[in-house]
Amino acid sequence: MAMLINIPGRPLNKLINKLSEYINPDDIHVWPNVPDKNAINFALVWKHQAGSLNDLPSLAGISSFGAGVDSILADSELPNVPLARIVDPDLADNMANFVYTMIQHHKLRLAQFGQQQSSATWKPKSPRRNKHVGILGLGQLGQATARLLVQQGFTVSGWSASKKALPNVFSYTGEEGLTTLLTQSDYLVCLLPLTAQTTNILNYNNLSQLPQGAAVINVARGEHLDDDALITLLNSGHIDTAYLDVFKQEPLPKEHKFWQQKGIFITPHVSAVTNVETAVSQIIENYHRVNAEQPMLNCIDRESGY
Ligand code: NDP
Ligand code: OXD
């Protein structure tokens, strides 16, 4: 019984040290160095190379090293074993605070004052009065974000596959619900998982239903957004600002038009980074469960893709 860490291109020392506090370091292997393929029964994975998990005869459980599983499910050769993900209240708090900060950035016109500073311009303007936030996705992260925004006095609506009963949050489902939410959202936050149904959901048709001057905050996946539609709507002034944390290609290529586009505020996929300190206990719990042939916690449903 051993764990494979298959997380290419990232420094892993901190993670390995933390895992080694709970399990024998000899039982931790880092892809592509796998001395005994038969020993690996659990894989901890983030943006792995497609096909790199399919030659492990004892593999009985895979855990994402993040909240999302889209990059794992994108592997057409993925072994048919249970797939778990990180569900961490700390991660959800970080996301909620990030989204709230982006909204405040817009409300308080901080981008405008930053530009004014560069030309020593003193030109006061009151905060925007925008109050209505629509959140696409009311799961772990969407609910935490909705709670914080309600506490901060925003009017919050959420859209999800199933109806939710959350205090002071208007819950919508289906196409009609989406239209209702879009037409009233001064701030549109995307916190959906990336699935066949949600790909390109931030398209021209949907984004153009937002009120004039709305802001869009995409903290889910780059594939949710139609990049050209966003640029068209920013240039026409229909959308005032887009806060983008995630992109189809990451790192965002230097030549990408988003870098130069007025009205786009870019952050490098940092809205809710998995915290080794808080995530490791659930990874270890799932490793022990796989060893004991028990079901893992926080498994996703492969059929729905989240
Ligand atoms: P959850 O699985 O907990 O929640 C997903 C939500 O989306 C649920 O409310 C679900 O509805 C809803 N949903 C799914 N499909 C549809 C659909 N077709 N129509 C309407 N609603 C739908 O996910 P999390 O909240 O944990 O995370 C969301 C995403 O955030 C992740 O998948 C990941 O891509 C992204 N993320 C980004 C990070 C970053 O740093 N930028 C960090 C962490 C995550 P229902 O509840 O009814 O099932
Ligand atoms: C995640 C992410 O899904 O960081 O956890 O994007």
The predicted pLDDT at position 77 comes to: 97
CB distance 159 to 134 below 8 Å: yes
Q: Tell me what pLDDT residue 135 has.
A: 99
Give the chain's domains with CATH numbers.
2-88+274-291 (3.40.50.720), 89-266 (3.40.50.720)
* Placement of tokens 């004892």 in the chain: 58
Strand pairing partners for 84? 63, 299
**133 with 149: CB under 8 angstroms?**
yes
Closest Cα to atom 3, ligand 2: which residue? 68
| Nearest Cα residue to atom 38 of ligand 1 | 272
Is residue 299 within 6 Å of ligand 1 at its C-beta?
A: no
pLDDT at 257: 98
- pLDDT tens for each residue of 64-77: 999 999 999 999 99
For residue 198 and ligand 2, the question of a CB distance below 6 A is answered with: no
Question: At what angle are helices 276-291 and 13-20 packed, to 10 degrees?
Answer: 50
272 lines ligand 1 (CB under 6 A): yes
Ligand 2 centre to CA of 138 (Å) is 16
Nearest CA to ligand 2 atom 2: 66
pLDDT at 282: 97
Mean pLDDT of 150-159: 98
Q: Strand 2-6 relative to strand 28-30: parallel, antiparallel, unpaired?
A: parallel
Mean pLDDT of 125-152: 98
Residues comprising the chain, all counted = 306
What average pLDDT does this structure show over 149-173?
98
Question: pLDDT grade, residue 194 (50/70/90)?
Answer: very high
Residue 89: per-residue pLDDT = 96
- Per-residue pLDDT of 26-70, as tens digits, reads 999 999 999 999 999 999 999 999 999 999 999 999 999 999 999
The confidence score (pLDDT) of residue 299 equals 98
Helix (H) or strand (E) holding 158: strand 155-159
Is the distance from the beta carbon of residue 197 to the nearest atom of ligand 1 less than 6 Å?
Answer: yes
Q: Is the CB of 68 under 6 A from ligand 2?
A: yes
Ligand 2 atom nearest the C-alpha of 86 is 5
For the chain, helix (H) and strand (E) counts, in that order, are 9, 12
Active site residue 269: yes
Check if 158 has its Cβ closer than 6 Å to any atom of ligand 2: no
pLDDT in tens, 268-302: 999 999 999 999 999 999 999 999 999 999 999 99
Q: What is the pTM of this model?
A: 0.98
pLDDT value for 174: 98
Residue 171: predicted pLDDT: 98
Residue 23: band (very low, low, confident or very high) from pLDDT cuts 50, 70, 90: very high
For residues 112-139, give the mean pLDDT: 98
Nearest-ligand number for the alpha carbon of 95: 1
Q: Of residues 221, 224, 289, 302, which has the active-site annotation?
A: 221
**What's the rounded Cα separation, in Å, for the pair 248 and 269?**
11
* Mean pLDDT, range 91-120, rounded to an integer: 98
Q: Give residue 73's pLDDT.
A: 98
- Predicted confidence band at 25 (pLDDT cuts at 50, 70, 90)? very high
